[in-house]
């Protein structure tokens, strides 16, 4: 007992010291309106612009020509259409943060219920850590491509430390960092265009085989998963911004941050990946479509030392996607249980880092291919599409698309007795996941419908089934409560 009190006291003293140093120590409790004072709305653009304007979006676009045999024009057309539509979801989710002051996994309780919300919180913890590991491996490989004397272990360690430093300081430092982290990537992409334009022009006019419907749909599904996968974390980065601004303004800043960065990075990735087979130096760097960092480095190689510096900066800027993800990892962990919520945020940040670096180092050498097969395809998109559909349906149909106190009584955030039961959300989620199985197409499993040549439409099926099933189940619950004579305050 004495030892337990000592540890509690240690955590409290450390947290108080960090707070005095200006480091965020606020947990997952709602941020009161009087503390939501931030009015620099451009931050809601830059945090997502920086998180996506990097080699990660470049690699997503490269999948079109590299893995689905699509031409440049087909790939870019699909990228623009899918991003135009799918960026609407992140823009919508961004409004919750400033308007309610609730973290994403806490806000989910107003549809999933107190206990039901544990499901997406746990899934978000695992998805976030898996995403971090893959990102650090990609960054490490990019740094290793600079010289035969370098290896990805060094790059992974550096990326992990930078991400830790930014995340540990909290919300405001993350926003500051994201406002400048995009600069080297934009410079690198402009330099790549300047150096590689002659080869790109030749490739654009080269004949390509017609795209098959299955490849088009599967590539579109990858792009949609990439976008929807951000939804369970987006509200976390607006909880200190003022609720007095219009929802439309928050939406537009966020929408443009995602759309501009993703379309630019993905289109460039598609163009250079399509041209790589006809340019020996690029193809060697691309290493049989397995090293996007190597492709970037080989394109910039003619610029000499300038290209080496840019490649290193682009690799290090992957921390712009890692830092927000670690922050969400800590929020999601605390949302699982009141016991976890009592542990300070900085403990979870250190825990994430303790898992990230060693697993990424071992994974880059031992089971990278397995990680890619499981985490970097549509798996994250399957569950986040159903999650997003449930949140969206609850807000639009049952909360009247309003953020008022009577629709979202924030004071009940931790009281399971005054939150929805969550049964409709769990039922809808299970149905959506079941519906996804026949339509999914992965390296380790291809569903019967996907086997017929339809491509992977699991993400879209999960969203539609999740929305329809939740609307029916929630309506039935309300009717049942009414017949039982219960006052439904949910």
pLDDT of 1 over the 50 cut = no
What pLDDT, in 10s, does the model give residues 415-436? 988 999 999 999 999 999 999 9
Nearest to 26 by CA among 240, 226, 182, 312: 240
pLDDT of 11 over the 60 cut = yes
What's residue 78's pLDDT? 96
pLDDT of 378 over the 70 cut = no
**What is the spatial distance between Cα 314 and Cα 312, in angstroms, rounded to a whole number?**
5
| Residue of higher predicted confidence among 156 and 441 | 156
Count how many residues are written for the chain: 490
pLDDT of 201 over the 90 cut = no
Return mean pLDDT, the chain: 87
**What is the spatial distance between Cα 70 and Cα 61, in angstroms, rounded to a whole number?**
11
What's residue 490's pLDDT? 62
Helix 319-336 vs helix 118-144: angle between axes, to the nearest 10 degrees? 160
Band (pLDDT 50/70/90 cuts) for residue 375 is very low
Mean pLDDT across 41-52: 95
Band (pLDDT 50/70/90 cuts) for residue 336 is very high
Least confident of 85-89, 360-364, 455-459: 360-364
Say how many Å lie between the first and final Cα of the chain, rounded: 41
Mean pLDDT across 255-282: 92
Domains (ranges, CATH) in the chain?
Answer: 38-365 (1.10.4160.10)
Band (pLDDT 50/70/90 cuts) for residue 476 is very high
Mean pLDDT across 32-56: 93
What's residue 25's pLDDT? 82
What pLDDT, in 10s, does the model give residues 204-216? 766 777 878 888 9
What's residue 9's pLDDT? 67
pLDDT of 77 over the 60 cut = yes
Distance, C-alpha 20 to centroid of its chain: 31
Residue found under tokens 């998109």: 381
Q: What is the 3-state secondary structure (H, E, C) of the chain?
A: CHHHHHHHHHHHHHHHHHHHCCCCCCCCCCCCHHHCCECCCCHHHHHHHHHHCCHHHHHHHHHHHHHHCCCHHHHHHHHHHHHHHHCHHHHHHHCHHHHHCCCHHHHCHHHHHHHHCHHHHHHHHHHHHHHHHHHHHHHHHHHHCCCCCCCHHHHHHHHHHHHHHHHHHCHHHHHHHHCCCCHHHHHHHHHHHHHHHHHHHHHHHCCCCCCCHHHHHHHHHHHHHHHHCCCCCHHHHCCCECCCCCHHHHHHHHHHHHHHHHHHHHHHHHHHHHHHHHCHHHHHHHCCCCCHHHHHHHHHHHHCHHHHHHHHHHHHCCHHHHHHHHHHHHHHHHHHCHHHHCCCHHHHHHHHHHHHHHHHHHHHHCCHHHHHHHHCCCHHHHHHHHHHHHHHHHHHHHCCCCCCCCCCCHHHCCCHHHCCCCHHHHHHHHHHHHHHHHHCECCCCECHHHHHHHCCCHHHHHHHHHHHHHHHHHHHHHHHHHHCCCCCCC
Residue 110, token pair as written in the block: 């107003």
Residue 80, token pair as written in the block: 């623009």
Mean pLDDT across 27-46: 93
Least confident of 206-220, 288-302, 330-344, 370-384: 370-384
What's residue 232's pLDDT? 94
**What is the spatial distance between Cα 6 and Cα 383, in angstroms, rounded to a whole number?**
40
Model-level pTM greater than 0.75? yes
What's residue 205's pLDDT? 67
Least confident of 111-115, 349-353, 477-481: 477-481
Band (pLDDT 50/70/90 cuts) for residue 238 is very high
What pLDDT, in 10s, does the model give residues 340-374? 998 889 999 999 999 999 988 887 776 545 545 54
Maximum pairwise Cα distance, the chain:
76
Nearest to 82 by CA among 214, 182, 181, 224: 224
Of all residues in the chain, what percent carry a pLDDT higher than 90?
A: 54
What's residue 5's pLDDT? 47
460 contacts 224 by C-beta, under 8 angstroms: yes
Least confident of 174-188, 192-206, 378-392: 192-206
Band (pLDDT 50/70/90 cuts) for residue 6 is very low
Mean pLDDT across 217-227: 90
| Residue of higher predicted confidence among 309 and 19 | 309
């Amino acid at each position: 007992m004495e030892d337990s009190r000592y540890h509690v006291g240690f955590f409290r003293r450390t947290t108080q010291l960090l707070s005095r140093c200006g480091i965020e120590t606020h947990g997952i409790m709602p941020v009161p309106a009087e503390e939501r004072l931030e009015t620099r709305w451009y931050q809601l653009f830059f945090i997502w612009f920086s998180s996506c304007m990097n080699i990660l979006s470049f690699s997503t676009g490269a999948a079109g020509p590299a893995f689905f045999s699509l031409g440049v024009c087909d790939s870019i057309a699909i990228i623009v259409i899918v991003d135009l539509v799918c960026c609407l979801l992140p823009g919508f989710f961004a409004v919750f943060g400033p308007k309610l002051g609730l973290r994403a996994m806490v806000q989910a309780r107003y549809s999933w219920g107190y206990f039901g919300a544990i499901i997406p919180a746990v899934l978000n913890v695992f998805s976030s850590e898996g995403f971090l590991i893959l990102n650090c491996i990609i960054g490490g490989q990019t740094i290793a491509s600079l010289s035969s004397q370098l290896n990805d272990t060094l790059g992974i360690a550096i990326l992990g430390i930078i991400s830790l430093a930014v995340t540990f300081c909290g919300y405001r430092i993350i926003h500051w960092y994201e406002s400048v982290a995009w600069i080297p990537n934009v410079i690198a992409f402009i330099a790549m265009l300047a150096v590689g334009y002659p080869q790109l022009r030749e490739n654009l006019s080269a004949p390509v085989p017609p795209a098959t419907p299955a490849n088009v749909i599967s590539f579109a599904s990858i792009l949609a998963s990439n976008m929807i996968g951000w939804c369970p974390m987006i509200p976390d980065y607006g909880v200190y911004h003022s609720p007095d601004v219009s929802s439309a303004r928050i939406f537009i800043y966020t929408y443009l941050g995602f759309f501009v960065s993703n379309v630019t990075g993905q289109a460039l990735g598609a163009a250079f990946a399509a041209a790589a087979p006809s340019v020996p130096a690029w193809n060697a760097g691309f290493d049989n479509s397995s090293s996007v960092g190597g492709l970037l480095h080989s394109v910039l190689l003619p610029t000499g030392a300038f290209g080496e510096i840019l490649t290193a900066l682009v690799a290090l800027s992957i921390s712009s996607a890692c830092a927000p993800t670690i922050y969400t990892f800590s929020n999601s962990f605390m949302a699982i249980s009141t016991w976890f919520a009592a542990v300070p945020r900085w403990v979870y940040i250190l825990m994430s880092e303790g898992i990230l670096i060693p697993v990424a180092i071992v994974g880059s050498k031992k089971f990278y291919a397995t990680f890619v097969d499981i985490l970097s395809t549509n798996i994250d998109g399957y569950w986040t599409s159903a999650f997003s559909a449930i949140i969206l349906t609850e807000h639009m149909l049952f909360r009247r698309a309003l953020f008022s106190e009577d629709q979202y009584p924030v004071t009940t955030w931790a009281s399971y007795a005054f939150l929805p039961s969550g049964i409709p959300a769990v039922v809808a989620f299970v149905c959506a996941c079941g519906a996804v199985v026949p339509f999914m197409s992965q390296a380790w499993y291809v569903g019967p419908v996907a086997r017929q040549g339809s491509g992977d439409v699991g993400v879209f099926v999960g969203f539609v089934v999740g929305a329809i099933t939740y609307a029916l189940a929630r309506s039935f619950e309300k009717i049942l409560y009414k017949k039982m004579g219960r006052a439904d305050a949910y």
